Amino acid sequence: MPAPAKRPLPAGLPREWYESHNRRLKAMRLAIALLDTGVYHPANASNRRIRTTAERIGIHPPSDTTCRMVRSLIHYAD
């Protein structure tokens, strides 16, 4: 399945909006990569593991804030 066409981001928004948007996208990519490797519980997603995954998939190491966001995206169902 081909990737959807990328659209330009809307112009004129505050810089914080773009930073937050890109942080959410990065966190989602990392959460998906972790789930693909079998990390299904936030407690198993340490900052080191998240950063190692980022290196493996070829993106810049995430900040502590992004790591927290990644853990919040990984839900554990009993």
* Total structural domains within the chain: 1
5 part of a folded domain: no
Pick the residue with more confidence: 9 or 45?
45
What pLDDT does 77 receive? 52
For residue range 41-54, what is the model confidence (pLDDT) as tens digits? 999 999 999 999 99
Is 54:30 a contact under the CB 8 Å cutoff? yes
* pTM of the predicted protein model: 0.84
Burial class (CB in 10 A: 0-12, 13-18, 19+), 55: exposed
The confidence band for 76, taking pLDDT boundaries of 50, 70 and 90, is: low
19, 61 Cβ separation under 8 angstroms: no
Residue 75 pLDDT grade (very low, low, confident, very high; cuts 50, 70, 90): confident
Judged against a pLDDT cut of 70, whether residue 78 lies above it is answered with no
Answer whether residue 6 is part of any domain. no
Find the domain containing 43 and state its range.
15-76
Residues 15, 71: Cα–Cα separation, whole Å? 25
